Amino acid sequence: MFPKDVEVILARHLASCLALPIFIVDPEGNLVFYNEPAEPILGRRFEESGEMPASEWSTVFAPTDAAGAAIAPEALPLMIALLDRRPAYLTFRIRGLDGVSRHISSTAFPLIGQGARLLGAIALLWETER
């Protein structure tokens, strides 16, 4: 499932060099990478969790709104960026892969290459106070 598009490979490399938590998906929504700063938020090292299909990552973190209601996968910023090809932002709760509940904010944007080719999407994450 490793990305073949050079732009996604470069985005992955850039993410690996940054201190900002980053989550990258391919055009089908499959998780292809999250960087080391994202690991404490997501509750597991990327080398341990590996790549995941969208159907898995969009539910395994059990995203919920402020009232505790489940957030549909298509309402998550990363999926909005991918499906609607526009930036999206949301503050919500997740359950990390370590079982710890965290309040996070996420801003996501589509990766669009030459010729308007959809390459995937990137989410910037940060843990927030309520």
pLDDT tens, position by position, 107-117:
999 999 999 99
Output the pLDDT for position 11: 92
Which residues face 110 on adjacent strands? 121
- Residue 130: pLDDT band by 50, 70, 90 thresholds? low
pLDDT at 129 over 80: no
Per-residue pLDDT tens for 22-49? 999 999 999 999 999 999 999 999 999 8
Domain for residue 54, yes or no? yes
Output the pLDDT for position 92: 97
Largest CA distance in the chain: 42
Name 128's Cβ contacts closer than 8 Å, sequence gap at least 6. Answer: 91, 103, 104, 105
| Domain with 15 in it | 6-127
In total, how many domains does the chain have? 1
For the entire predicted model, the pTM comes to 0.90
Domain for residue 1, yes or no? no
Q: What CATH number should be reported for the domain holding residue 61?
A: 3.30.450.20
